[in-house]
């Protein structure tokens, strides 16, 4: 079992290390400068609010879908990890920020530049372990998450990086909070 300390290290790695190869790839292959990569000049309230709203709504929809009997027998590692480590709201907030920023820089600002929306979205869901040849039920969860990732990928194209960061952050945070507050059956 992973410790809370190691989980925080993974959060920092996601936040700091994940964007590095993405930046160097777009910088050297597409001549994108750091400022354009992180789009600080494009931070705007409306796209961020749209992203937060979209992530929250989709997370609530996903949490309802995940209550279906078919999902009860799927061992989702993150759920056991959250309950086993007794993660609190501050932990959830930190991990959601790390994933929202670090993964969106890697996948949207980096990989999507080369592979487009569809391939990058599929890779994102697959890397998270939500597609399985051996466990079809686990792939069902991947099919729940995939539309969200596709939509934030298109949102990146239309609204920019910070829409995607906000959507990813709020989706993760809502699901963390649901897992933290949910009683075991």
- pLDDT tens per residue, range 33-78: 999 999 999 999 999 999 999 999 999 999 998 888 877 766 655 6
147, 123 in Cβ contact below 8 A? no
* Look-up of token digits 């959507």: 167
CA–CA dist 57, 3 (Å, integer): 31
In order of 126, 163, 170, the CA distances from 129 in angstroms are 5, 24, 20
Residue 125 tokens read as 């869901």
pLDDT exceeds 70 at position 163: yes
pLDDT 10s digits, 82-113: 667 788 999 999 999 999 999 999 999 999 99
pTM of the model: 0.93
- The two three-digit tokens of residue 26, written as one number: 């777009």
Contacts of 51 (CB under 8 A, 6+ apart): 152, 155, 159, 162, 163, 164, 165, 166, 167, 168, 169, 170
d(CA 109, CA 153): 10
Average pLDDT value for the chain? 91
């Amino acid at each position: 079992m992973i410790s809370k300390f190691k989980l925080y290290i993974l959060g920092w790695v996601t936040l700091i290390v994940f964007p590095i190869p993405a930046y160097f790839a777009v910088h050297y292959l597409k001549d994108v400068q750091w400022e354009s990569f992180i789009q600080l000049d494009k931070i705007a309230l409306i796209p961020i609010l749209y992203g937060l709203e979209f992530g929250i709504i989709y997370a609530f929809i996903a949490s309802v879908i995940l209550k279906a009997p078919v999902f009860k027998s799927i061992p989702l590692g993150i759920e056991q990890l959250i309950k086993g480590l007794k993660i609190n709201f501050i932990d959830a907030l930190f991990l959601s920020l790390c994933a929202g920023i670090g993964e969106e820089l890697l996948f949207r600002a980096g990989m999507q530049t080369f592979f487009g929306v569809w391939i990058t979205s599929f890779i994102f869901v697959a890397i998270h372990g939500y597609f399985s040849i051996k466990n079809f039920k686990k792939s069902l969860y991947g099919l729940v998450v995939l539309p969200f990732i596709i939509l934030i990928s298109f949102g990146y194209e239309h609204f920019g990086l910070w829409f995607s960061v906000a959507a990813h952050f709020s989706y993760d945070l809502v699901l963390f909070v649901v897992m933290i507050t949910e009683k075991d059956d």
